[in-house]
C-alpha cells in the first residue's frame, strides 16, 4: 500500500524551507532528491568499508569490491536484463551514449550512413551523434513529434532507409513528458535490421522497465534521477552489440595485460569501464534502486499518474498558461510559458520566492525548443514524493505570476 507520508519522511530535504516557505520540489526531472537510506549508505561506504575496488586483496578492498559489484546485479534486475554482464556501469546517460557513439557506432559507420533521432531528444542523445556527422559525414535524420507531443512508432519507422544504422530515441521526453512506444519502435526497427538505443534517463524513473520485453540494443540510465547519487549510472547493452564494440576509454581496470608493444583487454563489461569508478556513487545507486523496488515501481507509477491527472486538470484550467504537449499516457512533466512577455526565468524566480523549485530554460533540448518556436519554458517535473497540495501551491504561485506580468 503506497503511503505518501512515509515516502516523504524518507527524504530529509523535503522538510526544509526555501525563502521562508515549505519547499515544493518540482525539479526532479533535472535531479531527484535522495532518501535517507542512500545518504546512510554513502556514509557507511566511506566511514566503514572504503577502499579501491578490484585490484586489492586486503579485506576492505574485498568488501568494497563486493558492495560495488553487487550493484551491477541490482541494475540488471531493475532493468529486466537477463545477465549482469550486459550492464556497463558509468557516470550516467551522457557517458553511456558516448560509449555507444565511440565504441560501437564510430568503428561501424561511414559517410552517408544515417541515424534516426526524434526532435525531442536531450542533448546527451544528440551531441554524440553530431560528432559522427561532423567527423565522418554521418547523416542525422530527424522525426518531429505530433502537435500534441506524441511520437508514433510508425512515424519513426517511416524515417528508416537502407542507410539507417541506428535509431536513437528517448523513452520519455524530459520536456513534454511524452512516453514513447520504444517496444514498437524496436520490433519495427529490428525487422529492418536496425539497432535501437533508448535514452532511459526519464523513463526508468517513472515506469517499470523491462529491456528483454522492449528488445532494445542499448538502454541508458542516470543514477541521480533515480534517487541515487550524481555521478552514478549504467547502460544496458545487448550481448550481440557488446561483442561488436571496441573500448572507448583506455586505462586501468579495462585491461588484462599491458606491455610495451601489446595490450589485451579485460572481458566485457569491464572492458568498457576504464579507471577507478565512482565506487561510492554506484553503491549509493544500488541503495536507491532497492528503495524504489521496496516502494514498488507499480505504486510509484500509479501515484505519478494520479498526480499527472490532477496537475493536468489544474494547469490546463489556466487559460493564460501555454502548456506544451499533451500526449496520451504522458508522464508527470509539464512545460509551460505564460502569455505576455514574462520570460521563463522571471516565472521561475517568482515561484522560488514561494518555495516552488522548477527549472527554466531550454532543458538541453535545443531542436525541440526550435520546433516549439520558443527559446525557453518553465518545467514542473513531479516525482514519487510530490502531492496534490503541491500542485495547488504551484498553481497559486503561477496565479501570482499572472497578476505580476499580465
Q: Within 13 Å, how many C-alpha atoms sit on residue 272's CB side?
A: 29
Say if strands 164-170 and 24-25 run parallel, antiparallel, or are unpaired.
Answer: unpaired
For the CB of residue 370, give the shortest distance to ligand PLP in the complex, in Å.
17
For the CB of residue 383, give the shortest distance to ligand PLP in the complex, in Å.
13
For the CB of residue 224, give the shortest distance to ligand PLP in the complex, in Å.
6
Helices 297-316 and 388-405: crossing angle, nearest 10°? 30
Please compute Rg for the chain using Cα positions. Answer: 22
Q: Confirm if 193 and 217 have CB atoms less than 8 A apart.
A: no
Residues in the chain: 406
* Residue 222 found at the interface with ligand PLP (CB under 6 A): yes
Task: Kindly indicate which of the ranges 86-94, 128-136, 297-305, 378-386 contains the residues binding ligand PLP, using the contact rule CB under 6 A.
Answer: 86-94
**Residue from 33, 41, 90, 170 in contact with ligand PLP (CB under 6 A):** 170
Question: CA 182 to CA 215: how far, in whole Å?
Answer: 9
| Cβ atoms within 10 Å, residue 222 | 29
In the range 241-270, which residues lie near ligand PLP by CB under 6 A?
Answer: none
Under the phi-then-psi rule, with left for phi > 0, alpha for psi from -120 to 50, and beta for the rest, what region is 2?
Answer: beta
- Judged by beta carbon, residue 197 or residue 338, the one nearer ligand PLP is 197
**Residue from 26, 116, 124, 197 in contact with ligand PLP (CB under 6 A):** 124
CA end-to-end span of the chain = 44
- Judged by beta carbon, residue 125 or residue 282, the one nearer ligand PLP is 125
Q: Convert residues 22-61 into a mask of x (bound to ligand PLP by CB under 6 A) and - (unbound).
A: --------x-------------------------------
Q: Confirm if 182 and 169 have CB atoms less than 8 A apart.
A: yes
**Residue from 199, 217, 304, 390 in contact with ligand PLP (CB under 6 A):** 199
Task: Kindly indicate which of the ranges 92-100, 244-252, 269-277, 345-353 contains the residues binding ligand PLP, using the contact rule CB under 6 A.
Answer: 92-100
Say if strands 24-25 and 356-357 run parallel, antiparallel, or are unpaired.
Answer: parallel
Is 401 one of the catalytic residues?
A: no
H or E element at residue 336: strand 333-338
**Residue from 118, 201, 381, 386 in contact with ligand PLP (CB under 6 A):** 201
For the CB of residue 255, give the shortest distance to ligand PLP in the complex, in Å.
26
* Binding residue count for ligand PLP, defined by CB under 6 A: 15
What would the grid cell of residue 225 be?
534521477
In the range 323-362, which residues lie near ligand PLP by CB under 6 A?
Answer: none
* Residue 118 found at the interface with ligand PLP (CB under 6 A): no
Question: CA 10 to CA 25: how far, in whole Å?
Answer: 15
Task: Kindly indicate which of the ranges 1-9, 87-95, 277-285, 375-383 contains the residues binding ligand PLP, using the contact rule CB under 6 A.
Answer: 87-95
* Residue 94 found at the interface with ligand PLP (CB under 6 A): yes
Report which of 331, 315, 313, 332 is spatially closest to residue 323, judged by C-alpha positions: 315
For the CB of residue 296, give the shortest distance to ligand PLP in the complex, in Å.
23
Question: CA 324 to CA 302: how far, in whole Å?
Answer: 23
- Judged by beta carbon, residue 94 or residue 186, the one nearer ligand PLP is 94
Q: Is the peptide bond before 70 cis (omega within 30 degrees of 0)?
A: no
Name the site residues for ligand PLP (rule: CB under 6 A): 30, 92-94, 122, 124-125, 170, 174, 199, 201-202, 222, 224, 364
The residues annotated with a catalytic role in the active site are 364
Amino acid at each position: 500500500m503506497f503511503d505518501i507520508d512515509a515516502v516523504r519522511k524518507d527524504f530529509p530535504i523535503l522538510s526544509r524551507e526555501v525563502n521562508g516557505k515549505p519547499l515544493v520540489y518540482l525539479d526532479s526531472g533535472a535531479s531527484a532528491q535522495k532518501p535517507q537510506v542512500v545518504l546512510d549508505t554513502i556514509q557507511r561506504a566511506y566511514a566503514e568499508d572504503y577502499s579501491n575496488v578490484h585490484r586489492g586483496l586486503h579485506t576492505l578492498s574485498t568488501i568494497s569490491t563486493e558492495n560495488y559489484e553487487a550493484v551491477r546485479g541490482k541494475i540488471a534486475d531493475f532493468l529486466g536484463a537477463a545477465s549482469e554482464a550486459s550492464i556497463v556501469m558509468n557516470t550516467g546517460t551522457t557517458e553511456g551514449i558516448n560509449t555507444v557513439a565511440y565504441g560501437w557506432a564510430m568503428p561501424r559507420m561511414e559517410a552517408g550512413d544515417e541515424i534516426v533521432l526524434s526532435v525531442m531528444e536531450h542533448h546527451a542523445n544528440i551531441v554524440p551523434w553530431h560528432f559522427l556527422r561532423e567527423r565522418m559525414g554521418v547523416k542525422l535524420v530527424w522525426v518531429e513529434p505530433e502537435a500534441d507531443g506524441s511520437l508514433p512508432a510508425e512515424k519513426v519507422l517511416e524515417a528508416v532507409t537502407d542507410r539507417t544504422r541506428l535509431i536513437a530515441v528517448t523513452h520519455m521526453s524530459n520536456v513534454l513528458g511524452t512516453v514513447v512506444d520504444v517496444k514498437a519502435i524496436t520490433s519495427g526497427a529490428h525487422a529492418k535490421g536496425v539497432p535501437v538505443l533508448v535514452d532511459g534517463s526519464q523513463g526508468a524513473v517513472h515506469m517499470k522497465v523491462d529491456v528483454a520485453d522492449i528488445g532494445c540494443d542499448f538502454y541508458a540510465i542516470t543514477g541521480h534521477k533515480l534517487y541515487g547519487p550524481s555521478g552514478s549510472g549504467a547502460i544496458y547493452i545487448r550481448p550481440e552489440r557488446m561483442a561488436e564494440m571496441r573500448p572507448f576509454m583506455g586505462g586501468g581496470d579495462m585491461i588484462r595485460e599491458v606491455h610495451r608493444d601489446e595490450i589485451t583487454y579485460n572481458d566485457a563489461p569491464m572492458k568498457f569501464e576504464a579507471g577507478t569508478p565512482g565506487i561510492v556513487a554506484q553503491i549509493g545507486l544500488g541503495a536507491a534502486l532497492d528503495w524504489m523496488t521496496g516502494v514498488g515501481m507499480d505504486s510509484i507509477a500509479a501515484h505519478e499518474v494520479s498526480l499527472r491527472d490532477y496537475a493536468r486538470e489544474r494547469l490546463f484550467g489556466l487559460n493564460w498558461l501555454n502548456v506544451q504537449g499533451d500526449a496520451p499516457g504522458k508522464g508527470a512533466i509539464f512545460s509551460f510559458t505564460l502569455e505576455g512577455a514574462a520570460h521563463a526565468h522571471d516565472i521561475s524566480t517568482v515561484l522560488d520566492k514561494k518555495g516552488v523549485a522548477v527549472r527554466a530554460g531550454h532543458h538541453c533540448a535545443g531542436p525541440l525548443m526550435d520546433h516549439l518556436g520558443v527559446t525557453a519554458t518553465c518545467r514542473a517535473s513531479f516525482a514519487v514524493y510530490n502531492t496534490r497540495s503541491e500542485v495547488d501551491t504551484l498553481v497559486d504561485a503561477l496565479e501570482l505570476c499572472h497578476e505580476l506580468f499580465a
